[in-house]
Amino acid sequence: MQAIRFDQRVALVTGAGGGLGRAHALELARRGAKVVVNDLGGTVNGVGGDHAAADQVVAEIRAAGFEAVPNHDNIATAEGARRLVQCALDHYGRIDVLINNAGILRDKSLAKMEPADFESVVAVHLLGSAWCSHAVLAHMQGCAYGRIVMTTSAAGLYGNFGQTNYGAAKLGIVGLMNSLKLEAGKYGILVNTVAPVALTRMTEGLPFSAMLQEATPERVSAAVVYLASEACGFTGEIVAAGAGYFARVQMMEGQGVHLAGDELTPEGVAAHWDRIADMSAARPFGSASAALMGAFASK
């Protein structure tokens, strides 16, 4: 297979001052991309800011003979995202790839969580992904080309104790992708999502972190860089990636049951629950309208 390259391409990577984002930025640069390394430089829980994180990754990229510039804007705000995109345009005049990777953690059960902790996590993960995508769209549409890679999580796809804020934001990102793929596809912009498993500072304190010694960020970047490349020709997919494991993830809907007459009651639903819950003939749908048509077509 021909090597995947990004020569003359420009990539923005949010949260690239360490962990997954740093690995993505380094791999893109090695393959010829000019990289804008965005990182506010705050703590894992989103407090404070320090230019050193982004600056250090840029220095690392430049020392290897590749091109990069730092950006320290807060992408949780629409204005911060706009400044990030303008930074790329000012330095390189174009944007081909956006990797929405930035995130924070404020883990606590919902009953014990302060509203600010929920809102802050959603703002960085979900709103940050939305604002950055919004900010690059006009340019990508004008170029009739673009690759946007979102970042979800098993906590969003399947749930995790103490992460209602994080899980809600991460599944929200899947919803963002599912609609954006339809809006952006006609402009040659592909939108996909990675669900990473990696040992980073965000996962170091978790109970299962000892299992992740082989799950280095670099082993996730293989999927991210592919999704960001010209070699990728699909849109709207979720790819789980970690420790050399890669798998397609899909939301599925069962064949279902149509109830009518006297059975169209709560008791009817209870009586037919086994058939309603049967996933043996489950299928995915590419849009809400396709799901609606699927439901009526099965009558």
Beta partners for residue 192, in sequence order? 149
In 3D space, the residue among 249, 192, 244 whose CA is nearest the CA of residue 213 turns out to be 244
Residues 149/192, Cβ–Cβ less than 8 Å: yes
217 vs 224: CA distance, rounded Å: 11
266 vs 233: CA distance, rounded Å: 45
Beta partners for residue 35, in sequence order? 11, 68
Q: Which of 92, 166, 187, 226 is catalytic?
A: 166
Would you tell me how many other CB atoms lie within 10 Å of the CB of residue 174?
Answer: 19
For residue 92, give every residue at least 6 positions away whose Cβ sits within 8 Å of its Cβ, in sequence order, or none. Answer: 10, 34, 36, 69
* 92 given a catalytic annotation: no
For residue 13, give every residue at least 6 positions away whose Cβ sits within 8 Å of its Cβ, in sequence order, or none. Answer: 21, 24, 25, 28, 35, 36, 37, 38, 99, 101
Helices (H), 123-265: 128-143, 154-158, 164-184, 218-227
Show which residues are catalytic. 166
